[in-house]
Structure 1
């Protein structure tokens, strides 16, 4: 990885080698919604020794030399389809499962019933917004990005999108992503990092690991859109005159 860890952005570090997310997760660093922030600025904001984490990142990269996937080299259309088929589909299937697990968990005795109710409140409202969000991506933005990419080398002026501009749409989606990052952190904080009490019930023991897995998938999902797909789309929109 030819990056200066100390001055590189979080998104650039993860994009270059996805194994580095393990280090960021260990420090509670938000690489998916703060991807444009430089590591040095992140460390200053969170009072983390810069040299310590930079060395750990470099060591991790040295021992995991081959990235899991080099998404940065994927075309826009392929990456959008991957996000839809892997991460959007995951959201659509997991939300009903989690809703049912919440219902069952709230019907059995628990030492932390107040915590369960609070997590349910946060999750149910967020899930509704998230489903609406990905539906708009799939029906409006992603199809336009595919057409835009197909015309990247064309000589015919490309029609501006009917939904305003690509830049405006992406800015709005990014703001919604920031809200999604906030409620994911709220759930982690409320559950004390998904900690289970010693006497946790059967359904509670099923629910918490599923919530943790949902959070991890969402972080990858948001990283792919915020730090790779959207910057690529903005660059092509500027090139083809698509109302960037």
Structure 2
């Protein structure tokens, strides 16, 4: 591995899922924070650049497992993967999270007032994210498929991608708020089963959404913009 001090963590994660695994292990944000350099990422992870580079080099030396590298998919297939995996998950998980967010806030909000704020934070993100998914499904993804099929004259692709990335950053901020309000999803001692289930679902949703954003920001969108440039 050539140590490149200019390449971003998003670019590295987008080209090789093994690098994404390293960043994830150090708690480094490579989706919404994908514009960071290695130096900035190391600082975020509380480690030295040398430690991070060594970990990346070690990961690179391991064989890739077939089927794990989504960067090899065509834009059209990547769209289908995102729709069938991540968009589907969001639509199934959000109603459950909202239901339990309400229930836990009602039963425990008097002794844990942060749950009231958490309930409102869940609602805000749910409304924003569902609106975001609709724009991708109705506007951006069909345009990407048209580009992949060879259609030209789609000048709004770049502007739409920029809007989607801004909204991804907003979702990243929402996840950070969830983490703050839940003490990084640490359930208080003596919490009931509903309380525990809510925190487990929030953490699961957090993990899935970060992977979702990574696939779009670092793999799908660069491919779409490259196709638009060629067209």
Q: TM-score, normalised by structure 1?
A: 0.85
Residues 67-146 of structure 1: matches in 2 within 5 Å?
69-109=68-108, 113-146=112-145
SS at match of 1:107: helix
SS at match of 2:184: coil
SS at match of 2:183: coil
* Contact 1:102–1:120, Cα closer than 8 Å, also in 2: yes
Report what 1:183 is aligned to. Answer: 174
Q: Distance in 1 between matches of 2:21 and 2:147?
A: 35
* Contact 1:16–1:67, Cα closer than 8 Å, also in 2: no
Q: TM-score, normalised by structure 2?
A: 0.90
* Contact 1:6–1:54, Cα closer than 8 Å, also in 2: no
Report what 2:154 is aligned to. Answer: 160
Q: Go from structure 1 to structure 2 and tell me whether the alpha carbon gap of 1:93 and 1:131 turns closer, same or farther (over 3 Å shift).
A: same
Q: Which runs of 5+ in 1 are unaligned?
A: 153-157
Q: Distance in 2 between matches of 1:46 and 1:19?
A: 17
SS at match of 1:160: coil
Q: Distance in 2 between matches of 1:86 and 1:184?
A: 19
Alignment deviations for residues 43-72 of structure 1 (CA, whole Å, 9 cap, x no partner):
356663111122123334445643752222
* Contact 1:194–1:212, Cα closer than 8 Å, also in 2: yes
Q: Which runs of 4+ in 1 moved over 4 A?
A: 44-47
Report what 2:222 is aligned to. Answer: 231
Q: Distance in 2 between matches of 1:45 and 1:19?
A: 19
Alignment deviations for residues 5-31 of structure 1 (CA, whole Å, 9 cap, x no partner):
755321233234324444323433110
Shift of 1:102: 1.1
Q: Go from structure 1 to structure 2 and tell me whether the alpha carbon gap of 1:187 and 1:127 turns closer, same or farther (over 3 Å shift).
A: same
* Contact 1:6–1:50, Cα closer than 8 Å, also in 2: no
Q: Go from structure 1 to structure 2 and tell me whether the alpha carbon gap of 1:184 and 1:203 turns closer, same or farther (over 3 Å shift).
A: same
Q: Which runs of 5+ in 2 are unaligned?
A: none
2:191 pairs with 1:200: yes
